[in-house]
Chain A
Amino acid sequence: MIPAAFEYYRPKDMDKVLSILEEHGDDARVMAGGHSLIPMMKLRMADVPHLIDLQDVGGMSEIEIGADTIKIGALVTQSDIIDHAALADVAPILREAALQIADPQVRYMGTLGGNIANGDPGNDMPGLMQCLDASFTVVGQNGERVIPAREFYEAAYVTAREDGEVLTAVTIPRPKGGYAYEKQKRKIGDYATAAASVQIVNDDGKCVSAAIAMTNLSDTPVFSKTAGDALVGTSVDDAALKAAVAAMLGDIDPTEDNRGPVAFKNHVAGVILRRAIARAWSRA
Chain B
Amino acid sequence: MSNKMHVNLNVNGEDHEFLAEPRELLIYALREKLNITGPHVGCETSHCGACTVTMNGKSVKSCTVFVAQANGAHVTTIEGLGNPDALHVLQENFKEHHGLQCGYCTPGMITRAAKLLEENPNPTEADVRFGIAGNICRCTGYQNIVKSILSAASEMNAAKEAAQ
Contacts and interface: CB of A to CB of B under 8 A. Distances in A.
Interface in B1-22: 1-3, 5, 21-22
Interface stretch (B65-73, B77-85, B90-98, B145-153): B65-73
Interface in A38-57: 38-39, 41-43, 49, 51, 53, 55
B60 interface: yes
B52 interface: yes
A2 B60 CA distance: 18
A35 interface: yes
Contact of A108 (B1, B3, B45, B60): B60
A5 B1 contact: yes
B125 to A, nearest CB: 16
Interface in A1-16: 1-8, 10
A10 B68 contact: yes
Interface of B: 1-3, 5, 21-23, 25, 41, 44-47, 49, 52, 58-61, 63-66, 68-69, 71, 112, 116, 131-134
Contacts of B44: 1, 39, 42-43
Contacts of B5: 8
A103 B65 contact: no
Nearest to A53: B69
B64 A6 contact: no
Q: What's the interface size class on A, roughly?
A: 20 to 34
A5 B112 CA distance: 30
B66 A8 contact: yes
A104 interface: yes
A38 B66 contact: yes
Contact of B134 (A10, A42, A53, A104): A104
Contact of B49 (A2, A35, A51, A103): A103
A166 B2 CA distance: 26
A3 B112 CA distance: 26
Contacts of A35: 46, 64
A278 interface: no
A3 to B, nearest CB: 5
B69 A104 contact: no
B90 to A, nearest CB: 16
B2 A105 contact: no
